[in-house]
Amino acid sequence: MPKKHSLHGGKTPVGSKYKESYATRKVLCGRVVDFAFTSGDNFQLEQWFIALGWRDYFTINAPYYVELVKEFYSNMVNVSDDCDSLEIKNKVNKTMIKFDDKLLGKILGVPVVGSKFIETKKWPEDPELVLEDCLRVFYPNENIFGGMAKLTNLLGAEHRLLHHITATHILLTSGGHEKMSYQDLYNMWHAVTAKAMNLPHLIMKNMLRATSKVDGALPYGMVITKIIFHFGIIVGNEVASSVDVGDIYNASSLERMGWKRVYKSGKGNIWLPKEGGRRKRRIEGAGLEDQGEAQRVTPTPAPQQQASNSNSQSLESILDELKKLTIKMDNLRGEFLDLFNDQQGRTRTIKKKMITKVLIEAADISSSESEEEEEEGGGGGGEKVQP
């Protein structure tokens, strides 16, 4: 009987470039941040990432190769003797490569300085970093305590988007985004306070963690493309995959998270929750306070002033309505693009299945014809011709 390979690791089958256990594992390519959108809606995300030297990393939009990613993880090993540093040795497409955090930082164009802490289930033991103080940055209206559930639906729109970005760029995971881990909180706190983090080290550490798991997703598809291109590795005949419209963080992303964009005179675009919950009640309460301020008695202006103010207010009202209509059109456009992208994805899947089926049937027909020809040839050679 042939020897069975274990699900975790195992040997690489003959003719395959990676271990059997990697065949069914999902590849996470990463996401792209649309900074034109974030800046246009007065978010500070771009400024935060510029301060850390990470902005260009969040705009990487490269093709990625699923089979090559699986080979990359299947052959990866840490060869560093220093427990505080990492050096990855790998073999991809018959080419041996080796890199540390300094080289990876050069490839990605990010600094190689700052914290190397990585831990999802506990808070770092740092006397200068108080857990409750960090929680207050993101949950200013909540009852803060160390063991509280860090629910992301209680975050503001910008912090909610920041959580998604850090969870899909820094320590990529295939799970949901309903709660923050301690590592998510730690990363987000560094982002908003501009405290340095060694991003290349964190990426390498997370890569090695992925190889130690029995299953689970394989992260950093586009980062791996940058690495193999740096070493001049030839991809071969594999067809490249690329990010979809839904993989770009923009207005549609926040809408899918349950937010809606509205325009307010003097404030510009603001994001509000679409439905219920404690956050909505707080906003409604704040609105009542604003109304109370507006209903206070004010001196009656003179007739000319009233006419002038009335014309000015009418013009402002028209402009406000036009801006609201523009936002509604943008929202409808985003929803249409999401539907179109979903349909395109289904169509591509069906095409791939049909092509695979046709190729298999063609191979079966070719094999059958070859067998028939061999049988006919063999039969003809065995007959004797009577004189």
- What proportion of the chain, given as a percentage, has pLDDT over 90? 49
In a domain, 25, yes or no: yes
Write out pLDDT tens, residues 204-236. Answer: 999 999 998 888 899 999 999 999 999 999 988
Whether 4 is in a domain gets the answer no
Residue range(s) defining the domain that contains residue 76: 21-259
Written as six digits, the tokens of 45 are 């995300």
Amino acid letter, residue 84? D
Does residue 128 have a pLDDT over 90? no
Average pLDDT, the chain: 80
Checking if the pLDDT of 1 tops 70, the result is: no
Of residues 83 and 286, the one with the higher pLDDT is: 83
231-261, pLDDT tens digit by residue?
Answer: 999 988 899 999 998 899 999 999 999 999 9
Q: What percent of the chain has pLDDT over 70?
A: 68
- What H or E segment, with its residue span, contains residue 77? strand 77-78
Cα(102)–Cα(93) distance, rounded to whole angstroms?
Answer: 23
Report the Cα 220 to chain-centroid distance in Å.
Answer: 9
Task: Please report whether residue 178 resides in a domain.
Answer: yes
pLDDT at 90: 95
Backbone torsions φ then ψ of 86, nearest 5 degrees: -125, 145
Res 226: pLDDT: 97
Read off the tokens for 4.
């069975």
Residue 361 lies in a domain: no
Min mean pLDDT across 146-160, 206-220, 363-377 is at 363-377
Query: Is residue 369 one of the residues assigned to a domain?
Result: no
The CA distance from 111 to 127, in Å, is: 26
pLDDT band for 292, please (50, 70, 90 cuts).
very low
Res. 3: pLDDT tops 60: no
| Residue 132 forms part of a structural domain | yes
pLDDT value, residue 66: 95
Confidence of residue 174 (pLDDT cuts 50, 70, 90): low
**How many structural domains comprise the chain?**
1
Residue 377 lies in a domain: no
**In 183-258, which ranges are E strands?**
248-249
Q: Does 26 reside within a domain?
A: yes
Lowest mean pLDDT among 101-115, 217-231, 352-366: 352-366
CA distances from 79 to 32, 82, 113, 308 (A): 31, 9, 21, 77
How far apart, in Å, are the Cα atoms of 275 and each of 99, 140, 362?
48, 21, 54
The pLDDT of residue 8 is 43
- The answer to whether the Cα torsion of 124, 126, 129, 131 is positive or negative is positive
pLDDT above 50: residue 339: yes
